[in-house]
Structure 1
Amino acid sequence: MLASSRLFPEEMMDKRVFRCVECNETATELHRDYSNNILKITICESCQKPVDKYIEYDPVIILIDAILCKTQAFRHILFNTSLDIHWKLCVFCLLCEAYLRWSLLHGSKQSSDPADIIRYTKEWEFYGMFGLAALELSAFCISVLWFLWAVVGRLQGGKLELRLLLRALLLSCYGKVLLIPAVIWEHDYSPLCLGLIKLFVLTSNSQAIRVILNSSRRLSLLAVCLGVLSETCVAQACKKFPWSIQEMLTD
């Protein structure tokens, strides 16, 4: 049986509008159910290819293609599945980023005494770092959504689904999970690894925007760059506040 039968009950498939992973044309179904549980993948009327070849693929292969930022894999995840873990993934990624900042903050304070490690874990610094990471992510998403709303929704007169875009942005931040092993397996090239992880996350964000809007790479890159600029401004503002949050955490 095809994998999509596990993702969508039959009654849900009747109500959804799917997208062809090859040409982005809409489709009313991913497969057709014949008698005796015989399923046949639906062929796209536009490109004459399977609407979604990934419904037969193993999840590991889908994940690998998503890591490679393949457009087809992103369309499958964002349009043709009922994956609804973006808020949970967002919180987990924020925890990863907060742990990275917290560990770097205590990099010069590391002690071999287990009591010190236990004491550090009870401090509020970690939660403060989580709040800063959440604030910066909020600034990034709001700036990206505002830019796309202004350009696509207002100037070009296109239809913009902000909720779907936000879901895509949050799901495409999955690369932040790599921050944990980068910190645990610390080595001389950690700054380079962290930079590459950041670049990978931004690339995934850009690809997610392209898939949702079916737009040019230039537009998605501009949106991501504006988001990074806003995120950086918020981070710098937090450092230069009269009652600097980070200084309060380190005191």
Structure 2
Amino acid sequence: MGRMETDIFRCVECNEKAPELHRDYSNGILKITICESCQKPVDKYIEYDPVIILIDAILCKTQAFRHILFNTTLDIHWKLCVFCLLCEAYLRWSLLHGSEQSGDPADIIRYAKEWDFYSAFGLAALELSAFCGGALWFLWAATGRLRGGTPELRLLLRALLLSCYGKVLLIPAVIWEHDYSPLCLGLIKLFVLTSNSQAIRVILNCSRRVSLAAVCFGLLSETCVAQACRRLPWSVQDVLAFD
């Protein structure tokens, strides 16, 4: 385990700062540090299997989020962000060409090279930027917590990107197409927003009301950007129609 940008660890139970997670004695003996505030292990998850940590994160447990966001050097948020955007772009592309797809693999390759797939990726990236920007602006204006410097802002942006991991579920939802797919997609969206809210709550140690309001404002920003893009006087499909 390495230190994060704030150069400090956090107790997963009470969120108090801690200088270390464990102490390494001779002969490979490790002793987990006990929090001075709550008298519980600072981070019980350092002994847990990654699968258990993932399950607790999926359940949006505060302790699991604190472990991941404060006490690990997990630095895959940008890669995860790109992968999630690809998942969302694939979803939009498949919905656009669902009626045109056939069993021929050549069709899939041909459609993947069309500009509408890249435009879907660009639109998804723009909407994600609007969501993060709207949520961060709300937190800056409402709480003033982000005015002190960039470390907390970086942590919050990293938390928002990592908490979008639920978008990976878009791929199986599209592959295993079913009559209830719209309901599944709605539940996935709700799960991602819930994870976003929990991530904000963990980083800022704020109330659930503030984190939910920030997520709602971010969602409003995302929706406005999406509607504005749909109402543009031109689109990629229109441009391709003239080729």
Give yes or no for TM over 0.5: yes
Tell me the secondary structure at the aligned position of residue 23 of structure 2: strand
Equivalent of 1:234 in 207, 218, 225: 225
For residues 122 and 177 of structure 2, the distance between their equivalents in structure 1, rounded to whole angstroms, comes to 25
Following TM superposition, by how much is the alpha carbon of 1:115 offset from its aligned partner in structure 2, in angstroms? 3.8
Equivalent of 1:98 in 61, 85, 89: 89
Q: Greater relative contact order: 1 or 2 (C-alpha under 8 angstroms, separation 6 or more)? A: 2
Alignment size in residue pairs = 240
Aligned counterpart, 1:194: 185
| Contact 2:116/2:236, CA 8 A, preserved across alignment | no
Structure 1 residues 85 and 113, CA gap change in structure 2 (3 angstroms)? closer
Moved over 4 A (4+): 156-160, 245-251
Aligned residue type for 2:61: K
Structure 1 residues 98 and 61, CA gap change in structure 2 (3 angstroms)? same
Tell me the secondary structure at the aligned position of residue 139 of structure 1: helix
Following TM superposition, by how much is the alpha carbon of 1:159 offset from its aligned partner in structure 2, in angstroms? 7.3
Structure 1 residues 248 and 179, CA gap change in structure 2 (3 angstroms)? farther
Equivalent of 1:56 in 47, 58, 67: 47
Aligned residue type for 2:51: V
Q: Deviations for 1:64-85, whole angstroms, at most 9, x for unmatched residues?
A: 0000000000000000000010
Where do 1:1-251 residues align within 5 Å?
7-8=1-2, 16-153=7-144, 161-245=152-236, 247-248=238-239
User: If the length of structure 1 is used for normalisation, what is the TM-score?
Assistant: 0.90
Tell me the secondary structure at the aligned position of residue 143 of structure 2: helix
| Contact 1:128/1:249, CA 8 A, preserved across alignment | no
| Contact 1:94/1:130, CA 8 A, preserved across alignment | yes
Q: Deviations for 1:82-108, whole angstroms, at most 9, x for unmatched residues?
A: 001000000000000000000000012
| Contact 1:125/1:249, CA 8 A, preserved across alignment | no
| Contact 1:65/1:73, CA 8 A, preserved across alignment | yes
| Contact 2:156/2:200, CA 8 A, preserved across alignment | yes
Structure 1 residues 205 and 232, CA gap change in structure 2 (3 angstroms)? same
Aligned residue type for 1:205: N
Aligned counterpart, 1:4: none
Identical amino acids, percent of aligned pairs: 84
Tell me the secondary structure at the aligned position of residue 188 of structure 1: coil
Following TM superposition, by how much is the alpha carbon of 1:157 offset from its aligned partner in structure 2, in angstroms? 7.9
Unmatched runs of 5 consecutive residues or more in structure 1: 1-6
| Contact 1:238/1:246, CA 8 A, preserved across alignment | no
User: If the length of structure 2 is used for normalisation, what is the TM-score?
Assistant: 0.93
For residues 47 and 208 of structure 2, the distance between their equivalents in structure 1, rounded to whole angstroms, comes to 29
Aligned residue type for 1:110: Q
Following TM superposition, by how much is the alpha carbon of 1:116 offset from its aligned partner in structure 2, in angstroms? 2.9
Aligned counterpart, 1:3: none
Following TM superposition, by how much is the alpha carbon of 1:125 offset from its aligned partner in structure 2, in angstroms? 1.3
